[in-house]
Amino acid sequence: MKLLFDANVIISGFATRGYSFDVIKDSIYKHEVYYTQYLLTEIQETLSTKFSPSDSAIHFTVSIIKKYFIKGKTADTTEKLCRDPNDNQILADALINNIKILITGDKDLLELKTYKTVNIVSPKDYWKL
């Protein structure tokens, strides 16, 4: 099954090595996990501005994503469904890459539950797939 993680889950997973990290680890062995250049840029920017890790820590995170995830397309256009433009881009990227499950901790996205052919679930609900 094709999966896409929102930036918040990836950042939480790599920053804490907790619950979200367990979901990421499990998914890369059982599913096709995608990333997009847009998502990668959002992760790098968020890590560098909110967490201030070393450059090597950011590089490590990016290299792991590139190694174990599949690079997908970044959508050129988005629908304005959410308050956060980043959320709109993630939804558009999920759609263009035929993603079946978007895993996020974002409340606005979780409230949608589905977007066209994309099911939206929390990391906790991943285990119910």
Distance CA 100, CA 52 (A): 33
Residues of the chain with pLDDT under 50: none
What is the side-by-side order of every strand in the sheet holding 101-103?
70-71, 32-35, 2-5, 101-103, 118-121, 114-115
- The string of pLDDT tens digits covering residues 56-68 is 888 999 999 999 9
Half-sphere exposure of 103 (CA within 13 A, CB side): 30
Verdict on whether the full-model pTM lies above 0.85: yes
CATH superfamily of 2-126: 5'-nuclease (3.40.50.1010)
- The string of pLDDT tens digits covering residues 99-111 is 999 999 999 999 9
Q: Would you state the structure tokens that stand for residue 68, as one six-digit string?
A: 């174990």
Mention every residue, 6+ apart, whose C-beta is less than 8 A from residue 113. 119, 120
